[in-house]
Amino acid sequence: MAGVMAFDVAANLFNVGVTFASLGSILKTNYNENQQTSVTVVIGNAPASDGSVAHIALFEEGGGRIGQYKGSRNGHWGDGAQYITIDHDQNGKKQSVPAYLHMAMQENDGICVSGIFASSNGVSWGWTGDIAVGCGGQWYPSTQAVGSSNNNPRCFVMDKDHSNGVIANGISLHMRDFSTDQDLLDQYNEKSDRLCKNTARMTFQDNTTPDTIPKFFTPSLQDGYTHKDDTPGASGGGLKNPDQGIDRKRAGYPDGAPTTKRKRQLRVEPRSGNRTRVSGLKNNRPGHLVISEWSGHSAKEVCDHPNSIGPDFVSMAERTFCDMETGKWWPFCEDEKSGRCFDLDKQVVRGLPKQLIKRWLTDASSYPIPTKEYVTSDVWPHLNKA
């Protein structure tokens, strides 16, 4: 997957859905579903993904607040599932099905969220970091599985004080729109703006607080339709007006949110000599290196994607190193005898003969060898290596 435009939004929503059967360890069962909602926030296990406890509020379809979770302002969420039970105590304790979820960071220790799941009155919804990636959210790979499945979605980065280049300090979701209904997924896949540029449906908030009231659909959405012929269907999840709520130009974030666009970098393909321009990437932990043995992790994707954020990354499956400072990736030296390459043992990038550089670049000095010095590193072993 080379970038956001190639991302199959509906396919990744469907991946969330097919895991519901295996979410026994994610969705709590010991709660009063008529008067409470079970919410599970899954924290990825990427570097520094654990952090401060977030505030969560639930709202009815009409916008009334149902209840909220304040947690401890000095609390900490570690890697994995965080189980939360929210009482319906702000709507007169009436039986209610939550429609909107709003989450806001309370302190400055950021988190990387792999998934958010909610269940109440026998209905469950789920959102994962892969959906954020498809809509322009900042992300990093993770090995955190969802439930008992082998699905380890990317994690979405949030931080209250926006330190280290992080844009979002919260997220708001119309949870009912994150289901496995095929009609709804088809509508998203036909036009990704329905999901990604719709403030009421999903917004990566850049300036939100625990007291913020998210935007609601007015009037409420009308579902119960098969989208292809606009007649009631067995699935009942398609929207009669699927474009309702599209209201911004930017995917994921509000139009006025800051960006992390940096000077575009020039990358030369080591074997072919092809020159392509990719966006510079933000390394917010320059002294750290992640070495992943997971077959589904791609150093090339991490480098090429405009919204990845985090430390330098090695994919053992690809035998490739990603320099997050520049957005350039390099093959292992064992596989590249004639050009620049990454020495995994010494954790350095080795040089390229000057005569080859001059074939590809007018100014060889504009393509320096990156100097790397790692203080710490993580190895992500895959228990079931292919």
Residue 223's pLDDT is 82
Q: Which of 223, 214, 218 is nearest to 242 (CA)?
A: 223
Residues 344-356: tens digit of each pLDDT: 999 988 875 555 4
DSSP class of residue 75 equals -
Q: Which of 79, 77, 71, 83 is nearest to 26 (CA)?
A: 83
112: helix, strand or coil: strand
Region of 319 (left: φ > 0; alpha: ψ -120 to 50; beta: rest) is: left
Residue 353's pLDDT is 53
Does position 373 have pLDDT exceeding 50, yes or no?
A: yes
Least confident of 27-36, 49-58, 240-249, 266-275: 266-275
Share of the chain above pLDDT 90, in %: 51
Return the CA Rg of the chain.
22
299: helix, strand or coil: helix
Evaluate the omega torsion of the peptide bond into residue 270 and state whether it is cis, within 30 degrees of 0. no
Global pTM reads 0.85
* 297 vs 259, residue with greater confidence: 297
The average confidence (pLDDT) of the chain is 82
Does position 241 have pLDDT exceeding 60, yes or no?
A: yes
CATH, range 4-232? 2.60.60.20
Determine the average pLDDT of the residues in 225-244: 72
Task: List the chain domain ranges.
Answer: 4-232, 265-380
The confidence band for 195, taking pLDDT boundaries of 50, 70 and 90, is: very high
Q: In what order do the strands lie in the sheet with 65-69?
A: 65-69, 54-59, 100-105, 170-174, 202-205
Determine the average pLDDT of the residues in 35-63: 92
> What does 37-51 look like in DSSP terms, one character per residue?
EEEEEEEP-STT--E
* 120 vs 181, residue with greater confidence: 120
Distance of alpha carbon 329 from alpha carbon 315, whole angstroms? 11
Q: Which two three-digit tokens encode residue 37? A: 């909602």
The confidence band for 56, taking pLDDT boundaries of 50, 70 and 90, is: very high
Distance of alpha carbon 279 from alpha carbon 166, whole angstroms? 16
